[in-house]
């Protein structure tokens, strides 16, 4: 008598007569630690970006903080460069440049930015690293979460939260240190004397770091990040993605290590699910390209490790293109498709804006001048019959050294500045001074129009060589 095969009934996940829920409850992702070539590069990027972020405000340049966005003084200090609000155009150009760079790199390399350099990824990586050190790897963390509260669980969870909060506050402090001199900020913080705005921003930025990297994590990439939404419009089937080679991997299934998969009718995927377990967004890359994939390459490292153990060729999950995977293209064939119209257009725009940005920054005037007629003082006759107009001249020293300037006027015969024409300014300082301009009586009598066009010339007095001069147009008014 043959034994009746044991049947395990398949249970529907929900009531099939009901529509699927609008909101799927969040499944906590317990990403498993992974090692490998891409993991090492991810940590190189973590260290590189964080050394820059935490270290830059402590660097000095010419006796001042090297990078400081001094909002009170309306000065942006960069190494070798002082920018004024009038230089806002450079910030706009930088944003345009960043946008084109993102378009270009997305068209070529998909979400490589997300996986290796995006602050959300970098901080999530750091927070997960702390979590692993304190609570252990995937299984240990799952067990700890499921275990009832005990002194051990309290100690581990408490230690993790303390480390996360300390890092978040340090991040908030560093962020504020880009806007307030960081050494003064540190002195105030250690004396518990932070001002209300400084305290607010330290805690606000710290809370944002904690919330995004410790609590929301992959939810930011899955549901909040706008880049994840519009990246599809910048990519095509020849953009680099991380993909599973289903032609090679299917049919998936477990098998003894030394078995011949072909004889068993199997592909190279042994269905170990390691690629899913290491994924920080909790997706299965074997289901194809998904919006949630941030391109971190953790699944490549995991799968390459499995392939090594099985004695199979690496690259079942790899950087490839959709066309490359579906048509079985080799690396050289995929590289040949990199230069396509959208990449050339994005590249040309990026190069043009980049060259314009660098050139205009290099040719930027070290001296800024703004002239405004003093509307409170009308044209007036002075003692010798000359006509006098009064202006306010704003001179900005955009260099890192003290400078002397001379103010002159031209455009009418005999027109001259009355009184002292010299001015001295400290590095990165500005001053608005009243300037009286006089036109001799005989020159004024020979003019018919009441409004005359004149030019202010402010010259930087250099001890040697060429000195920059800035000209600013204005008008000279004659009395009726
Ligand atoms: S890690 Fe590789 S072998 Fe394992 S399930 Fe994923 S694709 Fe298959
Ligand atoms: S699928 Fe792979 S590359 Fe994409 S997020 Fe998950 S682990 Fe990273």
Number of Cβ within a 10 Å radius of residue 62:
13
Distance 289 CA to ligand 2 centre (A): 10
Q: For the whole model, what pTM was predicted?
A: 0.81
Rounded CA separation 160/134 (Å): 6
The answer as to whether 267 is a domain residue is yes
User: In 42-61, which positions are buried (b, 16+ CB within 10 angstroms) versus exposed (e)?
Assistant: beebbeebbeeeeebbeeee
Rounded CA separation 8/31 (Å): 30
For residues 408 and 399, which has the higher predicted lDDT (pLDDT)? 408
Domain co-membership, 347 together with 428: no
Contact between residue 213 and residue 127 where contact means Cβ atoms under 8 Å apart: yes
Domain co-membership, 203 together with 300: yes
State if residue 295 touches ligand 2 by the CB under 6 angstroms criterion.
yes
What is the per-residue pLDDT for 121? Answer: 93
State if residue 395 touches ligand 1 by the CB under 6 angstroms criterion.
no
Q: pLDDT tens across 354-392, in order?
A: 999 999 988 888 888 999 988 777 788 988 889 999 999
CA-proximal residue: ligand 1, atom 7 (nearest): 269
State if residue 283 touches ligand 1 by the CB under 6 angstroms criterion.
no
CA-proximal residue: ligand 2, atom 2 (nearest): 299
The answer as to whether 6 is a domain residue is no
The answer as to whether 13 is a domain residue is no
State if residue 242 touches ligand 1 by the CB under 6 angstroms criterion.
no
Task: Give the number of the ligand closest to the Cα of residue 308.
Answer: 1
CA-proximal residue: ligand 2, atom 6 (nearest): 279
Q: Is the pLDDT of residue 13 over 70?
A: no
State if residue 242 touches ligand 2 by the CB under 6 angstroms criterion.
yes
Q: Is the pLDDT of residue 169 over 70?
A: yes
The answer as to whether 1 is a domain residue is no
467: domain CATH number is 2.60.40.10
The answer as to whether 7 is a domain residue is no
The answer as to whether 338 is a domain residue is yes
Domain co-membership, 188 together with 118: yes
Averaged pLDDT for residues 274-290? 93
CA-proximal residue: ligand 1, atom 2 (nearest): 303
What is the per-residue pLDDT for 420? Answer: 81
Domain co-membership, 341 together with 416: no
Q: Is the pLDDT of residue 227 over 50?
A: yes
The answer as to whether 422 is a domain residue is yes
Domain co-membership, 351 together with 386: no
State if residue 34 touches ligand 2 by the CB under 6 angstroms criterion.
no
Q: Is the pLDDT of residue 12 over 80?
A: no
Task: Give the number of the ligand closest to the Cα of residue 32.
Answer: 2
Averaged pLDDT for residues 87-110? 89
State if residue 303 touches ligand 1 by the CB under 6 angstroms criterion.
yes
Domain co-membership, 401 together with 270: no
Domain co-membership, 371 together with 329: no
Contact between residue 459 and residue 405 where contact means Cβ atoms under 8 Å apart: yes
Ligand 2 atom nearest the C-alpha of 275 is 7
Q: Among residues 341, 364, 387, which one ends one of the domains? A: 364
Q: Among residues 324, 344, 364, which one ends one of the domains? A: 364
Domain co-membership, 331 together with 374: no
Instruction: Place 2 in a pLDDT band, splitting at 50, 70 and 90.
Output: very low
Distance 284 CA to ligand 1 centre (A): 10
Distance 67 CA to ligand 1 centre (A): 46
Instruction: Place 181 in a pLDDT band, splitting at 50, 70 and 90.
Output: very high
State if residue 296 touches ligand 2 by the CB under 6 angstroms criterion.
yes
Distance 438 CA to ligand 2 centre (A): 73
Ligand 1 atom nearest the C-alpha of 252 is 8
State if residue 34 touches ligand 1 by the CB under 6 angstroms criterion.
no
Ligand 2 atom nearest the C-alpha of 284 is 1
State if residue 269 touches ligand 1 by the CB under 6 angstroms criterion.
yes
State if residue 459 touches ligand 1 by the CB under 6 angstroms criterion.
no
Contact between residue 202 and residue 168 where contact means Cβ atoms under 8 Å apart: no
What is the per-residue pLDDT for 379? Answer: 85
Domain co-membership, 298 together with 380: no
Q: Among residues 364, 381, 407, which one ends one of the domains? A: 364
Q: Name the domain count of the chain.
A: 2
Averaged pLDDT for residues 98-121? 90
The answer as to whether 196 is a domain residue is yes
Q: Which domain holds residue 310?
A: 25-364
What is the per-residue pLDDT for 290? Answer: 86
CA-proximal residue: ligand 2, atom 4 (nearest): 293
Q: Is the pLDDT of residue 215 over 80?
A: yes
State if residue 275 touches ligand 1 by the CB under 6 angstroms criterion.
yes
Distance 298 CA to ligand 1 centre (A): 12
Distance 267 CA to ligand 1 centre (A): 11
Distance 237 CA to ligand 2 centre (A): 18
Average pLDDT along the chain: 89
Domain co-membership, 319 together with 453: no
Domain co-membership, 196 together with 301: yes
Domain co-membership, 308 together with 341: yes
Averaged pLDDT for residues 289-304? 93
Q: Is the pLDDT of residue 316 over 60?
A: yes
């Amino acid at each position: 008598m043959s034994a009746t095969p044991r049947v395990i009934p398949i249970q529907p996940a929900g009531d099939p007569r009901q529509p699927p829920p609008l909101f799927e409850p969040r499944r906590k992702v317990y990403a498993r630690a992974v090692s490998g070539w891409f993991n090492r590069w991810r940590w190189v990027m973590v260290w590189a970006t964080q050394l820059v972020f935490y270290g830059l405000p402590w660097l000095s340049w010419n006796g001042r903080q090297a990078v400081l966005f001094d909002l009170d003084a309306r000065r942006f200090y960069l190494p070798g460069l002082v920018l004024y609000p009038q230089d806002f155009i450079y910030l706009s150009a930088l944003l345009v440049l960043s946008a084109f760079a993102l378009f270009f790199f997305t068209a070529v390399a998909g979400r490589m930015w997300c996986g290796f350099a995006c602050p959300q990824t970098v901080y999530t990586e750091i927070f997960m690293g702390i979590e692993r050190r304190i609570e252990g790897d995937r299984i240990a963390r799952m067990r700890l979460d499921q275990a009832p509260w005990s002194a051990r669980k309290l100690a581990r969870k408490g230690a993790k939260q303390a480390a996360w909060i300390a890092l978040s506050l340090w991040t908030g402090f560093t962020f504020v240190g880009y806007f307030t001199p960081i050494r003064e900020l540190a002195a105030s913080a250690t004396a518990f004397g932070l001002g209300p705005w400084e305290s607010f921003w330290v805690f606000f930025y710290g809370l944002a770091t904690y919330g995004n990297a410790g609590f929301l994590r992959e939810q930011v990439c899955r549901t909040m990040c706008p880049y994840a939404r519009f990246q599809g419009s910048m990519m095509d089937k020849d953009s680099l993605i991380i993909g599973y080679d289903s032609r090679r991997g299917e049919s998936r299934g477990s098998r003894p290590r030394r078995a011949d998969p072909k004889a068993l009718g199997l592909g190279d995927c042994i269905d170990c699910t390691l690629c899913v377990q290491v994924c920080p967004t909790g997706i299965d890359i074997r289901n194809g390209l998904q919006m949630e994939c941030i391109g971190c390459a953790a699944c490549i490292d995991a799968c390459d490790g499995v392939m090594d153990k099985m004695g199979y060729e690496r690259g079942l999950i790899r950087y490839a293109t959709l066309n490359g995977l579906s048509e079985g293209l080799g690396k050289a064939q995929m590289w040949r498709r990199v230069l396509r119209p959208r990449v050339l257009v994005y590249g040309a725009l990026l190069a043009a804006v980049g060259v314009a940005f660098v050139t205009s920054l290099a040719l930027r005037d070290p001296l800024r001048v703004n002239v405004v007629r003093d509307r409170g003082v009308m044209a007036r006759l002075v003692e010798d019959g000359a006509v006098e107009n009064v202006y306010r001249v704003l001179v900005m020293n955009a260099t890192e050294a003290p400078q002397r300037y001379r103010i002159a006027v031209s455009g009418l015969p005999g027109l001259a500045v009355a009184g002292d024409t010299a001015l001295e300014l400290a590095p990165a300082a500005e001053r608005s001074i009243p300037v009286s301009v006089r036109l001799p009586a005989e020159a004024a009598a020979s003019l018919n129009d009441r409004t005359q066009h004149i030019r202010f010339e402010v010259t930087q007095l250099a001890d040697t060589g060429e000195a920059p001069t800035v000209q600013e147009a204005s008008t000279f008014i004659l009395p009726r």
